[in-house]
Chains A and B, each alone.
Chain A
Amino acid sequence: MTFNVPAIRAIYLFELHRTWRTLFQSIASPVISTSLYVIVFGTAIGPQMAAIDGVPYAAFVVPGLILLAVLTESVSNASFGIYLPRFTGTIYELLSAPISVGEVLLGYVGAAVTKSVLLGLIILGTARLFVTFSIAHPLAMLAFLVLVALGFCLLGFLLGLWADGFERLQIVPALVLTPLTFLGGTFYSVAALPPVWRAVTMLNPIVYLIEGFRWTFFGTASVHIGVSVFMALALICACLGAIVFIFRTGRRLRA
């Protein structure tokens, strides 16, 4: 046996089952809150705003709002998935099983990515009910969505391995992720900022992701799509490296 396929399958299905059990909390609530954003910014405020780079404001905010929900849910879902067994003690089974870190990740993070991408697509469909827009590069959009979901699910998994309490689990999304996303050009174009603020904003890695995602919708963005893809890949590699390190050394997992 070189690859424990039944284990990947077992973990993957277990995690999807957990999502199914908490369907309302994990899918319905972000869909509802994002729809409210779309309604307020798109249909209520949007008509009074000037178009940005030729894109009506109502449509302009949609990619950022989708990513806002996907990033937050990816981190909270993936972190909870691995933190829960650590909290209840059932992690003993995972640690004593004949599986490698790669298989653990395929199971846990694979399930989390599946859920995040589905969530993103559901929000996309819901937004389309309120706002008219078309997607310039649908395949690139899907690919970029998967890439970003993967990056943040890995980040969430890492958070779940590191956290030593439910408080920390919630602090990172609330105190770090949401502000970075709001200030990352969800509601405005980075290009329109004064030079100083623009320079500060460009230190925020989430800017590149939102701009990249926006490019797949409208074909224009303040950042080149190549840079955006590079940033997404960099996030994935950094998280992977940290997770493999944790499993190899057994830190926070094995005594």
Chain B
Amino acid sequence: MAASSDPVLSIRGLSKTYATGQRALENVDLEIRRGEIFALLGPNGAGKTTLIGAVCGLVQPTAGTILVDGHDAVRDFRAARARIGLVPQELATDMFETVHATVSFSRGLFGKRRDRALVERILRGLSLWEKRDAVISSLSGGMKRRVLIAKALAHEPVVLFLDEPTAGVDVELRRDMWAMVRRLREEGVTIILTTHYIEEAEEMADRVGIIDRGTIVLVEEKTDLMRRYGQTRLSIGLAEPLDTLPAELVGEDVALSQDGLTLTLVQSGAGGAGLEPAELFRRLGAAGLAISSVATSRSSLEDIFVDLVSHREHPRHEVRS
């Protein structure tokens, strides 16, 4: 990846208050680097879709500026929007048009001359070429989602927004989609995705942004985030159960399980004065304990996310069908 320093998308002080009084975004600042895959995570109603809508022209911001590849999204909306492709969350498609016609239509709508070869390449890349003359209403949900992606790519956007691209999508399509996203990144397209499936962000994203109640809580390189907030657990199985923690380990970050058979050492990713595993083993040896098994596990992005958001303590209304 060749992410150069000038941002492809620059958002400053973006706020949105809906007519109902609901404050969906509050003073959001965000910069997206050219060529990266950026995952925007957040609970339901956090403002993910509003943020995307504001960039794409579906939502009128209450305040703030948005620059797309240097073009103001309001004053210079033609140049800004021509550079953006949007795959919406809802499966909104024409019903009676054919796949090929609807993708060509999208290309025209975004001001590009007809290009059959390009449309063919996009359709083939999404396994849609065989279905090019099929009427959209006859397609399955997964195929319709592919059509939406094809439409968003038809005008060769610089930035592609994928709003919950894999919600309700089967495993095969999800894998196809991940492969497609990586391919697009190799071609230099910047990808911003929102997702519920945190493993998706963990698998694909270069950077992760967490949004909660309309505010960007954190933006970080995924690897830094995992290192900084992630924890490593070292679980040691004992041959004989213990009643209490051995004296050698009292005062350290070590816990004994209820059945007395497992010792757990938690190392926080942020480093610090934790007990080193080697030192732990030396002390275990000194205490004369027989070790039957050793296992390590790292916390996932999901654990980190849940941790960060729940620390902000607010009532979570999980209403997702």
Q: Please, which residues of chain B bring their CB within 8 A of the CB of A4?
A: 78, 111
Across the interface, do A255 and B110 meet the contact criterion of CB distance under 8 Å?
no
- In the complex, which residues of chain A have a beta carbon less than 8 angstroms from the beta carbon of B113? 6
By a CB distance below 8 angstroms, the chain B residues around A134 are: none
- How far does the alpha carbon of A14 sit from the alpha carbon of B88 in the complex, in Å? 21
Cβ-closest chain A residue relative to B24: A255
Given the known A-B contacts A4-B111, A6-B112, A98-B79, are A90 and B58 also in contact in the complex, defined by CB atoms under 8 Å?
no
Contact with B along A82-93 (1 / 0, CB 8 A): 000000111011
Task: Answer whether residue B45 sits at the interface, using C-beta atoms and an 8 A cutoff.
Answer: no
B151 touches A255 (CB 8 A): no
From 72 to 128 in chain B, residues with beta carbon under 8 angstroms from any chain A beta carbon are 77-82, 84, 86, 88, 90, 92-97, 101, 104-114
Bound-complex Cα distance A98 to B110 (A): 6
What is the number of residues of chain B that contact chain A, defined by CB distance less than 8 Å?
37
A9 and B97 CA atoms in complex are apart in Å by 16
Bound Cα distance from A6 to B78, whole angstroms: 13
Q: How far is the CB of B214 from chain A (nearest CB, A)?
A: 14
Q: How large is the interface on A (under 10, 10 to 19, 20 to 34, 35 or more residues)?
A: 20 to 34
Apart from A1-B79, A96-B86, A99-B109, 10 more pairs, CB < 8 Å: A7-B110, A10-B108, A10-B109, A88-B94, A90-B92, A90-B93, A93-B86, A254-B57, A254-B58, A254-B60
Contact of B111 among A7, A18, A21, A93 (CB under 8 A): A7
- Cα A192 to Cα B109 with chains together (Å): 52
A57 to nearest B CB, angstroms?
43
**Complex contact B58–A95 (CB within 8 A):** yes
Q: Give the distance to chain B from A232, nearest Cβ to Cβ, in Å.
A: 31
Within the assembled complex, what's the spacing in Å between the Cα atoms of A21 and B98?
Answer: 12
Taking CB atoms, residues of chain A closer than 8 Å to B79 are 1, 98
Q: A10-B109, A255-B18 are in contact. Are A90 and B57 (CB under 8 A)?
A: no
A94 at the binding interface (Cβ < 8 Å): yes
Contact in complex: B88, A98 (CB < 8 Å): no
For A10, list chain B residues within 8 Å (CB).
Answer: 104-105, 107-109
Most buried by A among B50, B108, B112: B108
Which residue of chain A is the closest to B50 with respect to CB atoms?
A255
Residue of B nearest to A107 (CB): B109
In the assembled complex, B188 has its CB within 8 A of some CB on chain A: no
Give the CA-CA distance A18 to B78 in the complex, in Å.
27
Query: For residue A5, which residue of chain B has the nearest CB?
Result: B111
Beyond A95-B57, A96-B58, A255-B53, whether A89 also contacts B111 by CB under 8 A is: no
B59 part of interface (Cβ distance < 8 Å):
yes
Q: Per-position contact with B for A117-130: 1 when CB-CB < 8 Å, else 0?
A: 00000000000000
A97 touches B92 (CB 8 A): no
Is A250 positioned at the interface, with any CB of B under 8 Å from its CB?
yes
A146: shortest Cβ distance to chain B, in Å?
A: 25
Task: Judge whether B106 and A88 touch: CB under 8 Å.
Answer: no
Known pairs A95-B57, A97-B110; A1 contacts B81 (CB<8 A): no
CB-defined contacts of A95 to chain B, threshold 8 Å: 56-58
A selection of 16 A-B contacts at a CB cut-off of 8 Å is: A6-B109, A6-B110, A6-B111, A10-B105, A17-B101, A88-B92, A90-B92, A96-B56, A96-B58, A97-B109, A98-B77, A98-B78, A98-B80, A250-B60, A254-B57, A254-B58
Q: How far is the CA of A106 from the CA of B50 in the complex (A)?
A: 30
Q: Which B residues touch A99, using CB under 8 A?
A: 78, 109, 111
Q: How far is the CA of A254 from the CA of B110 in the complex (A)?
A: 19
Determine which of A6, A9, A88, A254 lies in contact with B95 in the assembled complex, contact meaning CB atoms within 8 Å. A88
B78 touches A1 (CB 8 A): yes
**What residues of chain B lie closer than 8 Å to A27, measured between beta carbons?**
none
Residues of A within 8 A of B57 (CB): 95-96, 254
CA distance in complex: A98, B78 (Å): 4
- In the bound complex, residues from chain B placing their C-beta under 8 Å from that of A93 are 86, 106, 109, 151
Residues in chain A near residue B112, CB distance under 8 A: 6
A254 touches B81 (CB 8 A): no
Closest to A254 in B: B60
What is the distance, in angstroms, from B155's C-beta to the closest C-beta of chain A?
A: 9
